[in-house]
Amino acid sequence: MSGVYLKNGSQGVEVSSWQEQLNQVLQAGLAVDGHYGTATEQATRQFQEMMGLTADGLVGPQTEGAMQSQLGGGQGGAGQGGGGAGSASGPYHPDTHGQYHPQSHGEYHPDTHGQFHPQTHGEYHPDTHGQFHPQTHGEYHPETHGQYHPQTHGEYHPETHGQYHPQTHGEYHPETHGQYHPQTHGQFHPETHGQFHPQSHGQFHPEIHGQYHPETHGQFHPEIHGQYHPEIHGRFDPQIHGQYHPEIHGQYNPEWHGVYSVEIHGSFDESIHGQYNPDLHGAHDPAVHGEHTAPQQY
């Protein structure tokens, strides 16, 4: 039971010390034998009732603190020597109570052991200090809680570990920080989340990764950003999407790639832009479309 130092069945010098204190405060007449039996439990319940505490017969921080208030802080409490954090020596501190460990000092809790800090409680580890949570261990920071890792600090979530940032949580990786999503990891940016790649950040989509731009998402390529589509990647622009090519941007279509223009789509080539069609490529111009593409005159 967390925070309990002594109970029925406990044995040792701490029990003897507790029995002496009960005899001093209550004149309980207990045998100081170091065995926490029925008589000691009954006397403990009597003391708890007198102090307005829950009369459960368990000696923990509140009961021990009440005893020290009655003794004026002049004697060691039941937890002293056994790792109690609420003894007469004051709040838990490694210089007073030894290096923190749950087997000695009970399950870590800030109300009992003070605000977590590695200089006081040792390097954070869930096996020692319990599963990380900011309400218990304070706002996550690598200097306090160590480099973030899901096996140590639990699955990343901004409500638990704070807004993602590589300086705080380490270089983004889906195996460490979970599948990228702007609600969890913030608006995508390569300086924060690394160079975009679908294996790390998921299939590109503007609602998740923001409007496509090469400075943010890298040079467009269908293997990385998916098959080009204006609704996903924006209106085709060679400065943004690179020189038009059907293997990269799909078969030319003016609804997707805009009205054909040499400046935008490059010199007309039927192997790239498809067979000449005035509805797709504009009025025939031999200088643009070539003499051989001229419509047949009958």
Q: Domain locations in the chain?
A: 1-90
Q: Which range, of 9-13, 44-48, 251-255, averages the lowest pLDDT?
A: 251-255
Residue pLDDT, tens place only, 98-149: 778 887 777 888 877 878 888 888 889 888 888 888 888 888 988 888 889 8
pLDDT mean across residues, the chain: 83
% residues pLDDT > 90 (the chain): 16
The fold adopted by the segment(s) 1-90 is Muramoyl-pentapeptide Carboxypeptidase; domain 1 (1.10.101)
pLDDT tier at 297 (50, 70, 90 boundaries)?
low
For every residue of the chain, DSSP letters joined together read -TT--B-TT-BSHHHHHHHHHHHHHH------SSB--HHHHHHHHHHHHHTTS--SS-B-HHHHHHHHHHHTT-S--TTTTTT-TTSTT-S--HHHH-S--HHHH-S--HHHH-S--HHHH-S--HHHH-S--HHHH-S--HHHH-S--HHHH-S--HHHH-S--HHHH-S--HHHH-S--HHHH-S--HHHH-S--HHHH-S--HHHH-S--HHHH-S--HHHH-S--HHHH-S--HHHH-S--HHHH-S--HHHH-S--HHHH-S--HHHH-S--HHHH-S--HHHH-GGGSPPP-
pLDDT tier at 76 (50, 70, 90 boundaries)?
very low
pLDDT score of 80 more than 80: no
Residue pLDDT, tens place only, 205-237: 888 898 888 888 888 888 888 888 888 888 888
pLDDT score of 293 more than 80: no
Q: Output the pTM of the full model.
A: 0.48
Summarize the confidence of residues 18-38 as an average pLDDT: 94
Summarize the confidence of residues 233-251 as an average pLDDT: 85
Q: Which range, of 23-37, 72-86, 209-223, 271-285, averages the lowest pLDDT?
A: 72-86
